[in-house]
Amino acid sequence: MTARLFFTETPRAPHLFRIWQQLQACRELPQVDRWLAQVFRAEKRFGKKDRQWYADAVFAALRLGPLVLSAEYQSQDLKGNWDELRELSAERLFFWLSLERADSEETRFPEEKARLDALKQGKSLVSWGLPPFFAPMLERRQTLSQWSPAETETFLARQNVKAPLWLRVNRPAEMEAARRELQEHGIIWTEEDAAWKVEEARNLQSLECLERGILEIQDYASQRIGAAIDVTHEPLVWDCCAGGGGKTLQIASRLQGRGLVFASDVRSYKLDEVKRRAERAGLASVWTLPWNGEAWNAMPREWQKNGGVDAILIDAPCSGTGTWRRSPDSKYRCDAHELSALQALQIGLFQKVLPVLKKGGQLIYATCSWLPEENEDVIAAALKAHPGLHLETQQLCGNPVADADTMFYAVLRNHS
């Protein structure tokens, strides 16, 4: 007996189609996780399992959209973008996604199944659900990072699988208590380079070790960036694009009470989140510092007394291509115009922050992007514009080497 099609031959299908049609009505693709949260708040009848099923279906559509478009239209001229995807009916979209999940013995639709399988075996970007726009960038990445064919395939295949959850220990003295609590709650995890990868979890957010700030949720690749900051002395560190403060807290935890970490973000509400998380974790060395993103007219008093800051982390605004596993919708918002604007912003940040960096000080530039245009190209431009900067190392971390997001960081030293 042939199994029913997963997305279309289910009582949930009409609701799924309606949710997708609501998303199609958005000319500009929103941040889909937040958008779905709003939809589910209005849909009181959906239980927890229903909400998870619909969310997984929507994200499957976003992950494999270009593949579905190629199967439906059999055209070489497709861009695989949101404008094209929003024109495809929900019924046809989820029909193809159902076939993609079906085994090779699906006999009711042999022609369509064969067409889809042929596309997937072609190993083009489309076969992995990525728009052709990214092909030259991926070729450059393969060369720059010296990826083997197997590493490239791993990188692409993981784009269609949500990244696992990683934890970081905020308070090493209480690490054993955190391990015991995870074991008591049936949570399975592995430890790699001091990062904890959660393999299986139930009600993770209810854990006391997270509530008390003993552990923090932070991706493996992000942890590698925070670990690059030099904390051997008692430094003043400025995290100038701190966001919610994940790396800020990591740096403060590594300082163990020595030195200070100043967290800034142009979004003031983010600093409230940093304060809350720092207090929960018991990290008194975290100070929040409002900054409008422009050059400083006068340094804060603590910096003046120190002759500037000892280290700066620029966790730059970027395309987010390295987080496609969590936010596949972002690949539909990335185009040449956006990349050009982001690159100008990224290069400009160096000029704005360097005047407050001490001679001999360390500067870490980081993005959650794998695109060379936002990484190696930005570093090359910064070195050309600022001869006093010297590059010590630069690298991609995370996927494909580790089962995580993909991020980039460069370590530079100020010799001027």
List, for residues 153-162, the tens digit of each pLDDT value.
Answer: 999 999 999 9
- pTM confidence score: 0.95
3-state helix, strand, coil in the chain (%, to 5): 50, 15, 35
Write down the residue that tokens 């992007």 correspond to.
369
Q: Which residue has the tokens 């919610």?
A: 244
Tokens of 328: 């596949």
pLDDT tens digit string along 116-171?
999 999 889 999 999 999 999 999 999 999 999 999 999 999 999 999 999 999 98
Strand arrangement of the beta sheet that strand 260-263 belongs to: 286-288, 260-263, 236-239, 309-315, 357-367, 406-414, 389-398
- Supply the pLDDT for residue 2: 62
| Domains of the chain: residue spans and CATH | 13-129 (no CATH), 131-162+229-416 (3.40.50.150), 164-218 (3.30.70.1170)
**DSSP assignment of 185-232, as one string?**
TT-EEEEETTEEEEEE-SSGGG-HHHHTTSEEE--HHHHHHHTTS--S
Residues 322 and 221 sit within 8 Å (Cβ to Cβ): yes
Helix (H, G, I), strand (E, B) or coil at 323: helix
Q: Which distant-in-sequence residues (6+ apart) come within 8 Å of 362 by Cβ?
A: 229, 230, 310, 311, 312, 411, 412, 413, 414
Catalytic residue annotation: 368
What is the token pair recorded at 317? 């605004």
Q: What stretches in the chain show pLDDT beneath 70?
A: 1-2
- Write down the pLDDT at residue 1: 46
| pLDDT at 205 (0 to 100) | 77
